[in-house]
Every structure is written in structure tokens, then in C-alpha cells.
A and B are shown apart, each in its own frame.
Chain A
């Protein structure tokens, strides 16, 4: 039997991340509509709760993975020159790593009071 290789793994990754992103987005939108934070203290305290913070971190992990696969698919379909595709995918990796570092910096400051 063949071990699932790149194509199938990224296909699965795109769907698993999509499922989480959809659930998180609906839940977060519902929270903002039903129980909007009144001020900074409330907003900060809400995000700082361990389970909310974990949900946010998982969201960002899923989001970056989803962007990586999605943009890769777009490049593969519309960018024909191999060298340009390579440059775009490399730039994408650098950009996503920078965003990951940025997200880490934002999230690590958020701690329960």
C-alpha cells in the first residue's frame, strides 16, 4: 500500500483546518454579537481565559495552514513559470513564518490577571 504523500496530506489539512476555522468563526461572531465586550478589561479578560486563548491559538495555527495550502493551489493553477512559482512559494513561507512570530508575540502577552 502506498503511504499518503504530499498531495493527499495537504488535501486533508485543508479540510480539517477548514472545519475548525468555520466552527471558530461562527462561535466568535456569535460571541461578539450576543455578548460584546463593554471595554478593554472585559475584552482582555475574555481572551485571557485559558480555553479561549487555546481556541485562538488553534485558530491561528489552522488559519496559517489553510492559507499555505490555499495560496499554493492558486499559484499552481495560475502561475506557469516554474521559477516564479518557486519564488512565490518561498516568499509565502517567509511571510507565514513572520505572521506566526507576530501572533506568538500577541498571544503570549495575554495572560489571566
Chain B
């Protein structure tokens, strides 16, 4: 590939603007990939909990572990951010909230709702 060494490069992270609509979008992707990555663990626990009374008790005691609860905190954000950003996407598809100001508001609401769920999860684990 041909590269032109005189191209201007602008990667000053303090000056690159990252508006809410960009944050909600990249957050949607990151949370989606993380949910997918945690799927085998979720399936394992789901299967074990239904296998036998012993399996159910093992899952219950594991879920009660402080370390496991701590792992659930980011998971609460992955799940809720992905859900709220997804609902925003479905509304945009129905042409609700497409105008710039509304789009910003919607993005802010989705990010905020995800962060509130994260906070609730943190308090619940405390």
C-alpha cells in the first residue's frame, strides 16, 4: 500500500472530541463482545444449576462469593448498556430521536441508564 508520509496526523486524545453518540456506539460494541465472551461461563452455570440439587448448591455458593459478585459488577454494565443502547437503536430505526439534539439526548440517556445500573450493582454487591 502507498503511504504518504506528509499526511497530517491528528491524534491528540485531549483535543479529539468524543461526543455522546460516539461513546454510546463504541460502548455498544465493547459490551456486546464482552457479553459474547462471557457466554460459556453463563451457560456452564445455567446447566449446572439445572443438573442436580448438588449442582444448584454449588452455583448458589459460587454466586455468593465476594469475588464472583465483583465480577458481576462490570457484567451488569455490559448487559444494561447493551440493552439501553440497543433500545436506542430500535427507536432510531423507527425514526424516533434522529434529529441532532434528540440524538444527543438519547445517547446521553442510554449512557446514563447504563451507569445507573452499574451503580445499583455496586451498591448491591457492597
Contact = CB atoms under 8 A, between A and B. Distances in A.
Interface of A: 15, 18-19, 22, 25, 39-41, 43-44, 47, 63, 67, 70-71, 74, 99, 102-103, 105-106, 109-110
Contacts of B33: 71, 74
Interface stretch (B7-15, B46-54, B107-115): B46-54
A25 B83 contact: yes
Interface of B: 29, 32-33, 36, 39-40, 43, 46-47, 49-53, 56-57, 79, 83, 86-87, 89-90, 93
Contacts of A44: 50, 56
Given A47-B50, A74-B33, A106-B50, A40 B93 contact: no
A102 B36 contact: no
Contacts of B50: 43-44, 47, 106, 109-110
